[in-house]
């Protein structure tokens, strides 16, 4: 079995080899729970990235010629290797990202499920045959052919580094493309180990590359280098704008999965127990650092007080602390915020709301335990009386703070739900089909869940509207972004 935490693994993977940055520079990966260095990784620059792009370009013709079954078999062999080491990988992910180990395990499983899903789709990619008018010859027909786009760049954020790599890797590889993965600077370790395990499964050199380094160097090179034909980006809306500025003028195939501020609407006939649990997981999973998260809760006035009481009881059960340990039940572990800046921003957004009249019903503070002082911990908060135009409502809140609003009917809930620059997810909790239909039709979001937690299924296309992005990941639909459509005409008989 491969040793997961070997020294060589802390190098980056280019052209089938573990390499250092040409400059020899490294970046420390810091554990957000205690400030210790987990491991160091190469700090690549533009020249290092160019080497990876060349390797991916050289590997392209041979990889594009492999059969779909071969590609699927290699992915599944990689999945097997990763499965065997999932517990160790979850610990590394927890240490670099800050999420509790059981959440990290969930993320690894989601990745494996997604890769298996795409392996199954490899042999289903197809074009079509089109009969043409006989003017240019009888029996002439057209072919719609699907071909790989070419060298792809995958730029990944720190909040779900592994699942968000899978949503790019799977469709890119089955479509016959080569790829360069650029993880976030603060979460490269599990990514590199997974790339290593995948490549051990037998991917030819240059098909799968991982370059670690700052976005302004590695990321910008992927965006600007003309050899890279496809950019799959997940991250902040501001960085998404930069992706469009640099990669757009080169007509690259771009998808942007950006920020969100999902509204959750609870109607009076909802299953209260399920809805409370939906709000809880939807807002506080990953310490609230999720794009798809319940960032605003709209409760019908008839159930507002009862719901809020049940919710606060559950929120109070969260115990911020060491993500590698479990607290005694009924307490539930919440890891730290990923960075100090992340926590500062949440505190500023909350303070702004409080200064405008908001009432914090629970949490909203750093823990007093001196043993936690070196981590970026924060007690999850529920807030009411929040003016709809303040930062806590209008900006993306990337942490465990939930503003709650009382509404008189569905029309008001939908109007407030749409009063936001983002349009990623949304949900309604009701047994009334008419209300569900109205919410699905009128909420401005890429997805509306009905009585379901906000979750990105591998089987279903997922993408935002408004400032939440362009294009889709997940589902067979995502594969289209990694394919070029070429037409051919087969001349008819005289």
- Does position 184 interact with ligand NDP (CB under 6 A)? The reply is yes
Q: Which of 242, 366, 374, 391 binds ligand NDP (CB under 6 A)?
A: 242
Kindly tell me which of 258 and 401 has the beta carbon lying closer to ligand NDP. 258
Q: How far is the CB of 156 from ligand NDP (least distance, A)?
A: 5
Kindly tell me which of 176 and 235 has the beta carbon lying closer to ligand NDP. 235
Q: What b/e readout covers 37-67, taking b as 16+ CB neighbours within 10 angstroms?
A: ebbebbbbbeebbebbbbbbbebbeebeebe
Catalytically annotated residue among 221, 257, 395, 396 = 257
Kindly tell me which of 104 and 270 has the beta carbon lying closer to ligand NDP. 104
Binding piece for ligand NDP, criterion CB under 6 A, among 42-50, 69-77, 179-187, 434-442: 179-187
Instruction: Tell me the per-residue interface mask from 368 to 397 with ligand NDP, x by CB under 6 A, - otherwise.
Output: ----------------------------x-
Catalytically annotated residue among 103, 107, 221, 291 = 291
Q: How far is the CB of 139 from ligand NDP (least distance, A)?
A: 47
Kindly tell me which of 248 and 330 has the beta carbon lying closer to ligand NDP. 248
Instruction: Tell me the per-residue interface mask from 83 to 112 with ligand NDP, x by CB under 6 A, - otherwise.
Output: ------------------------------
Rounded distance between C-alpha atoms, residue 192 and residue 195, angstroms: 5
Residue 109 CB neighbour total at 10 angstroms: 15
- Does position 236 interact with ligand NDP (CB under 6 A)? The reply is yes
Kindly tell me which of 28 and 305 has the beta carbon lying closer to ligand NDP. 28
How many positions of this chain bind ligand NDP (CB under 6 A)? 32
Kindly tell me which of 321 and 463 has the beta carbon lying closer to ligand NDP. 463
Q: How far is the CB of 63 from ligand NDP (least distance, A)?
A: 24
Instruction: Tell me the per-residue interface mask from 420 to 459 with ligand NDP, x by CB under 6 A, - otherwise.
Output: ----x-----------------------------------
Q: How far is the CB of 457 from ligand NDP (least distance, A)?
A: 13
Determine contact, residues 302/409, Cβ cutoff 8 Å: no
- Does position 313 interact with ligand NDP (CB under 6 A)? The reply is no
Kindly tell me which of 217 and 322 has the beta carbon lying closer to ligand NDP. 217
- Does position 469 interact with ligand NDP (CB under 6 A)? The reply is yes
- Does position 461 interact with ligand NDP (CB under 6 A)? The reply is no
Q: How far is the CB of 396 from ligand NDP (least distance, A)?
A: 5
Instruction: Tell me the per-residue interface mask from 29 to 48 with ligand NDP, x by CB under 6 A, - otherwise.
Output: --------------------
Q: Which of 150, 403, 464, 475 binds ligand NDP (CB under 6 A)?
A: 464
291 catalytic per annotation: yes
Binding piece for ligand NDP, criterion CB under 6 A, among 118-126, 181-189, 296-304, 407-415: 181-189
**456 CB-near residues (< 8 Å, 6+ apart):** 163, 167, 292, 462, 473, 474
**20 CB-near residues (< 8 Å, 6+ apart):** 11, 12, 26, 42
Q: Which of 178, 177, 184, 234 is CA-nearest to residue 209?
A: 178
Q: How far is the CB of 362 from ligand NDP (least distance, A)?
A: 24
Instruction: Tell me the per-residue interface mask from 142 to 161 with ligand NDP, x by CB under 6 A, - otherwise.
Output: -------------xxxxxx-
- Does position 219 interact with ligand NDP (CB under 6 A)? The reply is yes
Could you say which residues in the range 254-273 bind ligand NDP, by CB under 6 A?
257-260
- Does position 363 interact with ligand NDP (CB under 6 A)? The reply is no
Kindly tell me which of 133 and 249 has the beta carbon lying closer to ligand NDP. 249
Kindly tell me which of 183 and 363 has the beta carbon lying closer to ligand NDP. 183
Q: Which of 11, 43, 91, 182 binds ligand NDP (CB under 6 A)?
A: 182
- The burial of 224, by beta-carbon neighbours within 10 Å (0-12 exposed, 13-18 middle, 19 or more buried), is given as middle
Residue that has been written with the tokens 């016959």 in this structure: 176
Q: Which of 185, 224, 250, 385 binds ligand NDP (CB under 6 A)?
A: 185
Q: What is the 3-state secondary structure (H, E, C) of the chain?
A: CCCCCCHHHHCEEECCEEECCCCCCEEEEECCCCCCEEEEEECCCHHHHHHHHHHHHHHHHHHHCCCHHHHHHHHHHHHHHHHHCHHHHHHHHHHHHCCCHHHHHHHHHHHHHHHHHHHHHHHHCCCEEEECCHHHCECCEEEEEEEECCEEEEECCCCCCCHHHHHHHHHHHHCCCEEEEECCCCCCHHHHHHHHHHHHCCCCCCCEEECCCCHHHHHHHHHHCCCEEEEEEECCHHHHHHHHHHHHHHCCEEEEECCCCEEEEECCCCCHHHHHHHHHHHHHHHHHCCCCCEEEEEEECCCHHHHHHHHHHHHCCEEECCCCCCCCCCCEEECCCCCHHHHHHHHHHHHHHHHCCCEEEECCCCCCCHHHCCCCCCCCEEEECCCCCCHHHHCCCCCCEEEEEEECCHHHHHHHHHCCCEECCCEEECCCHHHHHHHHHHCCCCCCEECCCCCCCCCCCECCEECCEECCECCCHHHHCCEEEEEEEECCEC
Q: Could you give the residue numbers annotated as active site? A: 257, 291
Chain positions contacting ligand NDP, by CB under 6 A: 155-160, 164, 182, 184-185, 214-216, 219-220, 223, 234-236, 239, 242, 257-260, 291, 396, 398, 424, 464, 468-469
């Amino acid at each position: 079995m491969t040793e997961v935490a070997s020294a060589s693994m802390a190098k980056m993977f280019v052209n089938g080899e573990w390499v250092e940055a040409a400059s020899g520079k490294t970046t420390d990966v810091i554990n957000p729970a205690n400030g210790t260095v987990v491991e160091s990784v190469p700090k690549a620059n533009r020249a290092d990235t160019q080497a990876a792009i060349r390797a991916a370009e050289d590997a392209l013709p041979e990889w594009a010629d492999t059969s779909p079954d071969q590609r699927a078999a290699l992915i599944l062999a990689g999945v097997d290797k990763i499965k065997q080491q999932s517990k160790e990988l979850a610990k590394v992910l927890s240490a670099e990202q800050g999420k509790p180990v059981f959440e990290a395990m969930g993320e690894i499983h989601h990745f494996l499920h997604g890769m298996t899903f795409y392996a199954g789709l490899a042999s289903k990619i197809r074009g079509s045959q089109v009969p043409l008018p006989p003017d240019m010859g009888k029996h002439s027909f057209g072919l719609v052919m699907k071909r790989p786009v070419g060298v792809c760049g995958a730029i990944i954020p720190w909040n779900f580094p592994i699942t968000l790599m899978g949503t790019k890797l799977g469709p890119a590889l089955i479509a016959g493309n080569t790829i360069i993965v650029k993880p976030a600077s603060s979460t490269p370790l599990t990514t590199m180990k997974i790339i290593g395990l995948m490549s051990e499964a037998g991917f030819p050199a240059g098909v799968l590359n991982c370059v670690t380094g700052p976005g302004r160097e590695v990321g910008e090179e992927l965006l600007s280098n003309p050899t890279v034909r496809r950019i799959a980006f997940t991250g902040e809306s501001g960085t998404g704008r930069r992706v469009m500025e640099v990669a757009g003028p080169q007509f690259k195939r771009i998808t942007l999965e950006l920020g969100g501020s999902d509204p959750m609407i609870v109607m009076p006939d909802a299953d209260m127990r399920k809805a409370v649990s939906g709000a809880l997981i939807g807002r506080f999973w990953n310490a609230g650092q999720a794009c798809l998260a319940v960032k605003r809760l709209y409760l019908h006035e008839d159930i507002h007080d009862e719901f809020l009481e049940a919710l606060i009881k559950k929120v109070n059960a969260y115990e911020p602390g060491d993500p590698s340990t479990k607290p005694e039940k009924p307490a539930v572990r919440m890891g730290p915020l990923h960075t100090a800046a992340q926590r500062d921003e949440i505190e500023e957004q909350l303070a702004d709301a409080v200064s405008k009249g908001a009432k914090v019903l629970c949490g909203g503070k750093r823990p007093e335990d001196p043993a936690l002082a070196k981590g970026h911990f924060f007690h999850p908060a529920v807030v009411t009386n929040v003016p709809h135009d303040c930062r806590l409502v209008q900006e993306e809140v990337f942490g465990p703070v939930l503003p709650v609003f009382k509404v008189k009917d569905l029309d008001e809930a939908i109007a407030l739900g749409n009063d936001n620059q983002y349009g990623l997810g949304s949900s309604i909790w009701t047994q009334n089909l008419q209300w569900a239909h109205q919410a699905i039709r009128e909420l401005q979001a890429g997805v509306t869940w009905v009585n379901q937690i906000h979750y990105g299924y591998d089987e279903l296309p997922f993408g935002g509207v408004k400032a939440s992005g362009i294009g889709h990941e997940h589902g067979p639909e995502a594969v289209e972004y990694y394919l070029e459509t070429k037409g051919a005409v087969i001349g008819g008989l005289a």
